[in-house]
Amino acid sequence: MSVILEFTISSDAFQLGRVLSGSPQMDIELERIVPTGDMVMPFVWATGDDHTGFEESVRSHPAVRELSVLDVMDESGLYRIEWESSPTDLLRGIALANAVVLEAHGSRSWVFRLRFPDHDALSQFHNYVIEEGTQIQVDRTYTLTETSERGHRFDLTDDQREALVLALRRGYFETPSEVSLDDLADELGISRQALSDRIRPGNEKILRKVLLPSAADFD
């Protein structure tokens, strides 16, 4: 049975956090990690208005061999980071335990939500971080059959969920719409584009979770 682990960790406690902590004020989200041989490559989304500064900061870090831009969408960019040598810390522990990154974002501190295939895999990850001396603060563990007071998250970030819930409650998705995107953005204290960048990816995540698993029924 799958097990979910939620924890927080200081950016100083793992290599990816240290690399990204020197970046300008950008919203960073870990998309996924991909093991390739002995190396674990992270893919991250960076959202903000200083991608040039972000790229310069990451590329100048001695632990980084290459930073590749894979996709750009409005103020967001998807990047792949390749290391000079594979770090033996948090990300490697996640890969070895076959965990799936459901949510990971931060700056000075990071919030992670991981799904492990079973309790044995969770124990393997826990033992790994202890042996490596990686300090994490466990916030919560639960199985997928347990009811979460936060509801079914569909892998949404907190910002995406907040935007979608507000839009739904204010009637943004009604026909005709009962509120404009500008009004919602003002209520959240962000720009119209920033709100759009939360709602669209959030909608896509929900639709993928709901529709794609049953898409074969219509083939």
Token pair listed for 192: 């119209």
Check residue 74 and give its pLDDT.
Answer: 80
Q: Is 219 exposed, middle or buried (0-12, 13-18, 19+ CB in 10 A)?
A: exposed
Which amino acid is located at 173 in the chain?
F
Residue with the larger pLDDT of the pair 3 and 205: 3
Distance CA 4, CA 114 (A): 6
pLDDT at 176 over 80: yes
Token pair listed for 101: 């990154």
**Contacts with 74 (C-beta within 8 Å, 6 or more apart), sequence order:** 193, 196, 197
Confidence (pTM): 0.65
Cβ atoms of residues 170 and 162 within 8 Å = no
Confidence of residue 20 (pLDDT cuts 50, 70, 90): very high
